[in-house]
């Protein structure tokens, strides 16, 4: 052995170097690229990472406790079938429905074919629109084939009559199901001209849609339905440790009160699981989210790299419904029920995205760009730009991102000392409604300082969508009783500017 | 213990006492009476020092400290209104002259209340931990008639740095008026962080 080593040592160095050339040649082959690519995909759900990526609840003992790495990876990976557009019944091409029935299911997810970055982004876009539920979490086949439903929710449509918030999924021949809970369901916007902005703040009445059944003539809830509604409320919004337990109180007020709460959610906000139907959060604009340091309105998830984005997508796509908060389980299950390999049947909890799927989704979200802004700079907007600086807006909404990427405490939140080291804190409250970040499962005690980019295509504004138009930010009447539907507190800037200055400021904001 | 302005009043006494400790030791050998225990001697000392003490004038200036900083291309004018200064300045005795000032950053005003509140916070002045900004002269140089340059130690938060402040003096009778202007880099003192829109340089104008 020693002799062999000695002989090898005598060989010239260039000979060893030359051995690498065939490997380099192989390096440009598809297979090797594929191997290298796989190496880039982070393992998302590790016990270690899940401990620290989320901020704690203001009552730390109720901070989210996600399922274990072992449980998570024992879940089946999602099967992604080809999906098809949903038309308003009056616009559906003749024979479309029958054609859908004739189709065979087609699995369309095949990462072995993804070579370039573009391939991953394209695959991510497909996943973005792909529903994770076909069991009727919100929309059912009957609903989307009922023209009255479209009228009830004032459903925005594309010029072709497509309802872009959902897709038909063919899971078996003749088994055509309308899908729910795709990313696109909340993050797709139909503009007044019918054009679509994917990734933008969604604009359809998803929560109102959930209770369409209760508006049908002669409807009377039976006991089973009332009980189910109570369960659903707890699963989606229960946070009994919150001061005054607002969701528990709502359930105790009865079925009609719950229906009314669903109907009152402003378009552009959604009562997503873990949030609230009483103070539903604005559907975030995902365009530009690549540059944000925190995810969720309360900054629940840190965003330090693509793996955090992947974690947030996994969590947001209902994995968090399996969380424990103290001893509270949204689904009312005991801890012992979380057994690896024995999934829990609820929308989005019986299977999971693969890490590759999450990677593709994150890549797509990162690739989103805004459409061309029709509001070009003008003399008025330039005046507004100066006012924007003079009024100190730049301190929080700092160009070029128009956010300083920090967390601002809700009024009354005492910032724990260690947070100053761990997180990016802007330690002044602007006094907006604290309910979302105090009284939900996603509470942190903070609000993320939002970017002002893309204000022209979005709205309503503020974390709770309580401001319907930009002008209202600068109207001091909104602070007082008499403002409909209720006073909007906080963010009291620019309220005493002249009318001309306010117009200039709004003109500038619309150019961002 | 930081006793602030009291230091100015007490320090001459302390230095005298140090001196007299030596005397005391000598007197111990000579078994002379201990003068420090003599009330009359103490009264005399106080009487002798009164003019000296009074020469360091304590002023609560009418004009606030002004500062200017560029934010997003716009110059923001701010003030710190609560401040005091102790002056013992004789243009003919620069080596013996001194100027000391203390300012309360809680009184900062920039025209936007929430911004002021933010400046109180730990990212900026952190007033809970550092309730004062202080400035203390080290040396003076004359630069012409009524024009001087002083080397001062400026402390903001827990950072002490020497700054050079050119200033003018106009004197009417016993009344002295000073005006100085200087520039600091706020990052040197841990005031905020590097920003794309907020400049590092802050121009400070002091008049009293």
Q: Is the ipTM of this structure higher than 0.85? A: no
B1 domain residue, yes or no: no
The count of structural domains within chain A is: 2
Report the pLDDT value the prediction gives residue A28, as an integer from 0 to 100.
Answer: 45
Query: Is B157 a member of any domain?
Result: yes
* Same structural domain, B86 and B18: no
* Full residue range of the structural domain in which residue A489 is found: 379-434+448-509
DSSP 3-state assignment of A288? coil
B23 domain residue, yes or no: yes
pLDDT of residue B26: 36
Note whether B12 and B72 are same-domain residues. Answer: no
Domain check: are B148 and B203 in the same one? yes
CB A361 within 8 A of CB A353: yes
Q: Give how far A390 is from chain B: nearest CA, Å.
A: 7
- Give the gap in angstroms from C-alpha B62 to the nearest C-alpha of chain A: 27
Q: Same domain for B17 and B73? A: no
Give the pLDDT confidence of B163-185 residue by residue, as tens digits.
999 999 999 888 899 999 999 99
Residue ranges of chain B with per-residue pLDDT less than 70: 1-57
Q: Which residue of chain B comes nearest to A394, CA vs CA?
A: B72
User: Within a domain: residue A316?
Assistant: no
B62 and B48 assigned to the same domain:
no
Look at residue A55 and tell me if it is in a domain: no
Residues B45 and B138 in one domain: no
Residue ranges of A 425-464 with Cβ closer than 8 A to chain B: 425-428, 430
* Interface A:B, Cβ pairs < 8 A: 45
What separation in angstroms does the CA of A148 have from each of A98, A216, A256, A279, A411? 22, 10, 21, 28, 43
Report CB contact under 8 Å: A426, B73. Answer: no
Best residue in A428, A491, A495 for a mutation probing chain B (most B CBs within 10 Å): A428
Question: Quick check: is B195 in a domain?
Answer: yes
Q: Check if A415 contacts B (Cβ < 8 Å).
A: no
Angle between helices A306-316 and A355-367 (to 10 degrees): 110
Q: Is there a domain that residue A483 lies in?
A: yes
Give the pLDDT score at B11: 46
Read off the pLDDT of residues B52-73 as tens digits, 9 standing for 90 and up.
444 566 889 999 999 999 998 8
Q: Are B119 and B66 contained in the same domain?
A: yes
User: Torsion angle, CA of A456/A460/A461/A466, rounded to 10 degrees?
Assistant: 160
Chain B within 8 Å of A219 (Cβ-Cβ)?
Answer: no
Q: How far apart are CA A456 and CA A425, in angstroms?
A: 28
B47 falls within a domain: yes
Q: Do B33 and B92 belong together in one domain?
A: no
pLDDT on residue A451:
98
- Co-location of B191 and B126 in the same domain: yes
Structural domain includes residue B89: yes
Interface residue of A382, A385, A388, A389 to substitute, partner B, most B CBs within 10 Å:
A389
For residue A454, give the CATH number of its domain.
Answer: 1.10.760.10
B182 belongs to a structural domain: yes
Domain span at residue B36?
6-54
Please tell me which residue of chain A has the smallest CA distance to B115.
A392
Within a domain: A458:
yes
Residues B89 and B129 in one domain: yes
Smallest Cβ distance to B123: which of A390, A427, A430? A427
pLDDT in tens, chain A (512 residues): 555 556 656 666 655 545 444 444 444 444 444 544 555 799 999 999 999 999 999 999 999 999 999 999 999 999 999 999 999 999 999 999 999 999 999 999 999 999 999 999 999 999 999 999 998 899 999 999 999 999 999 999 999 999 999 999 999 999 999 999 999 999 999 999 999 999 999 999 999 999 999 988 889 999 999 999 999 999 999 999 999 999 999 999 999 999 999 999 999 999 999 999 999 999 999 999 999 999 999 999 999 999 999 999 999 999 999 999 999 999 999 999 999 999 998 988 999 999 999 999 999 999 999 999 999 999 999 999 999 999 999 999 999 999 999 999 999 999 999 999 999 999 999 999 999 999 999 999 999 999 999 999 999 999 999 999 999 999 999 999 999 999 999 999 999 999 999 999 999 999 99
Query: Is some CB atom of chain B closer than 8 A to the CB atom of A395?
Result: yes
- Distance from the B110 Cα atom to the nearest Cα atom in chain A, whole angstroms: 10
Specify whether B168 is located in the same domain as B106: yes
**Nearest Cα residue in chain A from B118:** A428
- Hey, are the CB atoms on A395 and B73 less than 8 Å from each other? no
Question: B71–A399: do the CB atoms touch at under 8 Å?
Answer: no
Q: What is the 3-state secondary structure (H, E, C) of chain B?
A: CCCCCHHHHHHHHHHHHHHHHHHHHHHHHHCCCCHHHCHHHHHHHHHHHHHHHHHCEEECCCCCEEEEEEECCEEEEEEECCEEEEEECCCCCHHHCEEEEEECHHHEECCCHHHHHHHHCCCCCCCCCCCCEEEEEEEEEECCCCEEEEEEEEEECCEEEEEEEEEEEEEECCEEEEEEEEEEEHHHHCCCCCCCCECCEEEEEEEC
What chain B residue is nearest to A429 in terms of C-alpha separation?
Answer: B114
Number of structural domains found in chain B: 2
**Which H or E element spans position A400?**
none
Q: In this structure, is residue A462 part of a structural domain?
A: yes
- Find the CATH number of the domain harbouring B102: 2.40.128.110
| Residue from the list A388, A394, A428 with its beta carbon closest to the beta carbon of B118 | A428
Q: What is the pLDDT of residue B119?
A: 95
CB contact B96 to A (< 8 Å): no
Q: B144 and B72 share a domain?
A: yes
């Amino acid at each position: 052995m020693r002799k062999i080593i000695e002989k090898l040592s005598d060989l010239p160095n260039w000979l060893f170097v030359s051995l690498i050339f065939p490997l380099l040649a192989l390096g440009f082959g598809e297979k090797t690229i594929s191997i290298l690519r796989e190496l880039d995909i982070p393992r998302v759900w590790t016990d270690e990472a899940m401990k620290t990526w989320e901020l704690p609840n203001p009552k730390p003992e109720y901070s989210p406790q996600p399922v274990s790495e072992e449980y998570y990876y024992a879940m089946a990976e999602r099967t992604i079938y080809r999906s098809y557009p949903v038309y308003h019944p009056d616009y559906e091409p003749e024979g479309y429905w029958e054609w859908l029935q004739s189709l065979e299911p087609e699995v369309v997810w095949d990462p072995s074919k993804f070579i370039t970055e573009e391939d991953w982004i394209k695959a991510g876009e497909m996943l973005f629109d792909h529903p994770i539920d076909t069991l009727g979490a919100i929309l059912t086949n009957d609903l989307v084939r009922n023209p009255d439903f479209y009228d009830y929710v004032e459903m925005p449509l594309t010029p072709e009559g497509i309802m872009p918030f959902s897709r038909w999924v063919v899971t078996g021949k003749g088994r055509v199901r309308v899908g729910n809970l795709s990313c696109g369901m909340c993050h797709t916007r139909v503009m007044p001209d019918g054009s679509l902005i994917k990734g933008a703040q969604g604009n359809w009445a998803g929560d109102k849609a959930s209770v369409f059944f209760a508006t049908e003539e002669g409807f009377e809830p039976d006991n089973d339905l009332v009980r189910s509604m109570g369960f659903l409320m707890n699963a989606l919004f229960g946070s009994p440790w919150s001061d005054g337990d607002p969701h528990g109180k709502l359930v105790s007020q009865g079925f009609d009160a719950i229906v009314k709460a669903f109907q009152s959610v402003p378009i552009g906000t959604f009562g997503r699981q873990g949030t609230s139907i009483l103070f539903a959060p604005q559907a975030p604009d995902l365009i530009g989210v690549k540059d944000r340091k925190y995810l969720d309105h309360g900054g629940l998830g840190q965003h330090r790299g693509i793996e955090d984005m992947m974690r947030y997508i996994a969590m947001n796509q209902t994995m968090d419904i399996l969380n424990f908060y103290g001893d509270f389980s949204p689904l009312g299950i005991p801890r012992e029920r979380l057994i690896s390999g024995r999934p829990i049947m609820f929308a989005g909890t019986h299977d999971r995205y693969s890490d590759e799927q999450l990677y593709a989704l994150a890549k797509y979200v990162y690739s989103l760009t805004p459409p061309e802004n029709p509001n070009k700079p003008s003399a008025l907007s330039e005046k507004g730009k100066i006012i924007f600086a003079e009024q100190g807006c730049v301190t929080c909404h700092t160009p070029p991102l128009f956010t300083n990427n920090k967390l601002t405490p809700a009024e009354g939140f005492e910032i724990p000392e260690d947070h100053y080291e761990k997180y990016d804190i802007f330690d002044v409250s602007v006094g907006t409604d604290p309910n979302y970040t105090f009284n939900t499962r996603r509470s942190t005690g903070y609000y993320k300082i939002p970017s002002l980019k893309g204000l022209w295509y979005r709205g309503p504004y503020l974390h709770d969508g309580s401001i319907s138009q930009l002008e209202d930010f600068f109207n001091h009447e909104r602070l007082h009783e008499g403002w409909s539907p209720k006073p909007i507190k906080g963010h009291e800037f620019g309220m005493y500017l002249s009318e001309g200055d306010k117009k200039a400021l709004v003109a500038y904001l619309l150019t961002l | 213990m930081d006793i602030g302005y009291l230091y100015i009043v007490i320090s001459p006494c302390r230095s005298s006492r140090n001196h007299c400790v030596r005397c005391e030791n000598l007197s111990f050998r000579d078994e002379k009476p201990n003068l420090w225990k003599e009330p009359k001697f103490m009264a005399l000392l106080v009487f002798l020092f009164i003019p000296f003490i009074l020469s360091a004038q304590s002023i609560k200036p009418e004009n606030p400290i002004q500062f200017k900083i560029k934010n997003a291309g716009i110059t923001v004018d701010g003030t710190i209104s609560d401040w005091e200064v102790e002056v013992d300045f004789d243009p003919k005795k620069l080596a013996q002259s001194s100027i000391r000032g203390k300012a309360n950053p809680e009184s900062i005003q920039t025209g936007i209340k929430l911004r002021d509140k933010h400046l109180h916070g730990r990212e900026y002045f952190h007033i809970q931990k550092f309730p004062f900004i202080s400035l203390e002269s080290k040396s003076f140089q004359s630069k012409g008639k009524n024009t001087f340059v002083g080397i001062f130690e400026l402390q903001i938060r827990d950072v002490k740095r020497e700054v050079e402040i050119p200033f003018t003096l106009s004197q009417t009778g016993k009344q002295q008026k000073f005006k100085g202007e200087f520039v600091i880099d706020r990052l040197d003192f841990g005031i905020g962080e590097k920003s794309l829109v907020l400049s590092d340089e802050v121009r400070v104008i002091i008049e009293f």
